[in-house]
Amino acid sequence: MKYDFDTIVPRRGTNSYKWDTPKEKNVLPMWVADMDFRTAPAIVEALQRRVAHGIFGYTKVPETYYDAVVRWFESRHRWQIDPRWIIYTSGVVPALSAIIKALTAPGDKVIVQTPAYNCFYSSIRNDGCELSANNLIYRDGRYMR
C-alpha cells in the first residue's frame, strides 16, 4: 500500500503537545515520538465507525489484533509465535514498567543503551531500580554499538 508521507499538515493551534508546548516558534520539536503525517484512511474509518456507535465503555482486545501480530512476526521475521505469548499494553512505557516489576527487585540494576528516551530512565527509577548506562560510542558524527 502506497501512502502519502509528504503532505505537510499544520499542527500548531490544535492542542498538539509537540507543537503547542514550546513557546518559541523557531524550535523544531524533535523530543517526542509524534508523527506529522495524516493517519491512514483505514484507521480513520475504523475510528469513525466506533464514534458513530456512541458508547465508549471498556473494551477488550479483539482476536484480530493477536492474529495481526502473529502474521507480522511471521512475514517480517519468519518467526511463528503463539498468540498466548502476546500481552497487550497501552504503550512502550507501561510495558517497560511491567517488565521491570516482573523481572527485577528493588535495588537491581537495569542496563539501558544511552542516549535513550527519557521515560526509560524514569521508569527504571520509579520502579525502585538503579540505572546502569551502557553508553553508545559517538564517533564520526554518529552513534556506534
Q: pLDDT category, 35, cuts 50, 70, 90? A: confident
Q: What fold, for 1-56?
A: Aspartate Aminotransferase, domain 1 (3.90.1150)
Can you give the pLDDT at residue 75? 98
Contact between 132 and 112 under an 8 Å Cβ cutoff? The reply is yes
Q: Which helix (H) or strand (E) holds 113?
A: strand 109-114
118 three-state secondary structure: helix
Can you give the pLDDT at residue 142? 87
Distance in angstroms (rounded) separating the CA atoms of residues 80 and 73: 7
Question: Which triple of cell numbers denotes residue 32?
Answer: 517526542
Asked whether residue 3 carries a pLDDT value surpassing 90, the answer given is: no
Mean pLDDT of the chain: 92
143 three-state secondary structure: strand
Amino acid at 79: W
112 burial via Cβ count (<10 Å: 0-12, 13-18, 19+) = middle
Asked whether residue 145 carries a pLDDT value surpassing 80, the answer given is: no
Contact between 110 and 123 under an 8 Å Cβ cutoff? The reply is no
Average of per-residue pLDDT across 67-72: 98
Q: pLDDT category, 63, cuts 50, 70, 90? A: very high
Asked whether residue 1 carries a pLDDT value surpassing 80, the answer given is: no
Residue range 107-132, pLDDT digits in tens: 999 999 988 888 999 999 999 999 99
Can you give the pLDDT at residue 26? 84
- The model carries a pTM of 0.64
Q: pLDDT category, 101, cuts 50, 70, 90? A: very high
Domain coordinates in residue numbering, the chain: 1-56, 60-89, 90-145
